[in-house]
Amino acid sequence: MAPRFATAHLATHNKAEAGLSQKLTSLPDEFLFIDENTRGILSLQRVAEALTKITHLGVSSPVADVLFDTAGMRYGT
């Protein structure tokens, strides 16, 4: 399931204190949802950054494999 980007700003700019970030409730399901959704958002951002850098190098660049690996894609296999 794709992360819900409606919570992206809250999730990625919510500074944790003593290992806990701020939540609207104290329900365990909310903690699980926010934490997993944030992981999904950060992963998609990492992939997008890697793919953007590939366009500057070119897909046939001998060093593009590093970026393809970061994006979770294999080039030429």
pTM for the predicted model, two decimal places: 0.67
Q: What is the sign of the dihedral through the CA atoms of 60, 51, 63 and 74?
A: negative
Digit-coded pLDDT (tens) for 12-57: 677 777 877 777 778 888 888 888 888 888 888 888 899 899 888 9
pLDDT band at 9 (very low <50, low <70, confident <90, very high): low
Digit-coded pLDDT (tens) for 53-69: 988 899 899 999 899 89
Q: What is the sign of the dihedral through the CA atoms of 33, 34, 38 and 41?
A: positive
Determine how many CB atoms are found less than 10 A away from the CB of residue 49: 12
